[in-house]
Structures are given as C-alpha cells and as structure tokens.
Amino acid sequence: MDYTGSAFTHLPDLNTFDGIINLLSLCNLVILGNVLDFRTYLAPNQPPERAATPAEQHVLEGYDRNKIPKQERAAMMFYRGLAFEVVDWIKLRFHFWDPKGQDIDLPSHYLIQQLLALLEYKSDAAENKKGHAGAPHCTLSLLEKQIHNIVGCNEALKKYWSLFRDRVDTSQLGFGDKHGWKFKYRETCPPYLPRTEDELIYDGTTELDQRFKDSDRSLQSRIIKAQPDHHRDPRKRARFDSVS
C-alpha cells in the first residue's frame, strides 16, 4: 500500500508515538461526548439561562433525560463503543512503557489523566480561580457524576482509576511531555474480531445511558399498548427502544 498519497497526510501515523497519541485523543473526545456536551446538564425543555423546575429536575435526575435528543444520544452510545474498540485494537497491537520503564496501559492512563484534569479545572473554575464559570448548570458534583459514569462502563478504566490514577499528571488536558515514553509493535497478538453494531452499542452504554434507555422503553411500551396492532416492515430500521 502506498502511504505517500495526499490522503494519508490526514491520518495519524501509528509508526510514531505522536501518531498514537493523536488517535487516542480522537477516541477520548468521542468517549467523553456526554461529559463535554453542555446539554448533558440541562433538562429537556430547560434553557441555559434559568434553573430547572422541580418537574424538570425529576426527569433529569430520575431518568437521565437531558437536552440531548434521543437519536443523538443513541449515536453517542454507538460511537463511544466504537472508540473503545479502537482503543482495544491499539492495546492488542502495541506494547507501551512509561519513562520509568514500567509496562503501562497507555490508553487508560491518558484518558484517566484527562478525566482528572477536567475535575481539577472545574474545581478551579468553581472557586473562580481562572475566571470562568464553565458550562451552565454544570457543577463540580455533576461533572464528577458524569466522569464516574464513564469510568464505570469500561473494566480497564475502572482498574486504572482505582489502582494507578496517582501516576498521572492532572495539570493538563494534553498528553504533555512525551520524552522517555516508548512503544513497539507486539510480535504476536490475538486475531482481531470486529464487534457487531449491537455489541458496540452495549460497550458504549453507561449506567446513566441504561437508565435513559429503560425509561424510554417503558414509555414506548405504554405507547404501543395504546395503539392498534400494526405489522412492522422488517426492512425498516429498528426503533431505538429495541436497542440493548
């Protein structure tokens, strides 16, 4: 394959450490979609300039129904699962060492670093140290809730969060100094088995996503019972409430 064409200049070069970090940065951005989206912290009909009403707060806290539309929320689950699959592929293909020569789960290390940096930045913003209030209605406690929600949906992240988060530099969102970090292709690795669409959605579904899906499924069942029984055309895409 010719890697000198103009199209390849837009792709991360996985023969370099910078290229691997660039790809992981893209994956992390996708994984953190809900965390970074301001609409996560707003109820469905809540404008940013006012507080949520008691009814809106109940919907937001009880069912995790926020201002992100249902189909977009479903897409976030799928693409988060796809990003985790890319991360797993990187782990299968590469071996990483930190500057101390320790074998390390680099993808988890980098994402945990960014999660902890977000919390540190938000804490500073809450105390107005940096002069920015941040996303409307996004408090430090709500950000912590969203971050723990992401960590909880992936076993490697949970392990790194509980055992190794003291290893990361929380002062910056970027990877930082790359001096001393090393990697190489693994000499042998298991065969790559692509995940199905349903498996990717499952992988990308957080606890709060599941709460949202369960509430939507319950709502849809009530709607279906109230409607005449119509045969669904099998050629049409399944509705979101059938996704698990």
Q: What is the DSSP letter of 10?
A: G
- As a whole number of angstroms, the distance between CA 45 and CA 52 comes to 9
Which residues in the chain come in under a pLDDT of 70?
1-5, 128-133, 217-244
Which pLDDT score is estimated for 189? 83
| Alpha-helical regions (H) of the chain | 17-31, 33-36, 54-63, 70-93, 106-126, 140-151, 155-163, 197-203, 207-225
Which pLDDT score is estimated for 2? 57
Which pLDDT score is estimated for 89? 95
- The model carries a pTM of 0.83
Which pLDDT score is estimated for 74? 93
Q: What is the DSSP letter of 97?
A: E
pLDDT in tens, 29-80: 999 999 999 999 999 999 999 999 999 999 999 999 999 999 999 999 999 9
- Domains of the chain, residue spans: 11-186+195-228+235-242
Structure tokens, 137: 């209605």
- As a whole number of angstroms, the distance between CA 116 and CA 111 comes to 9
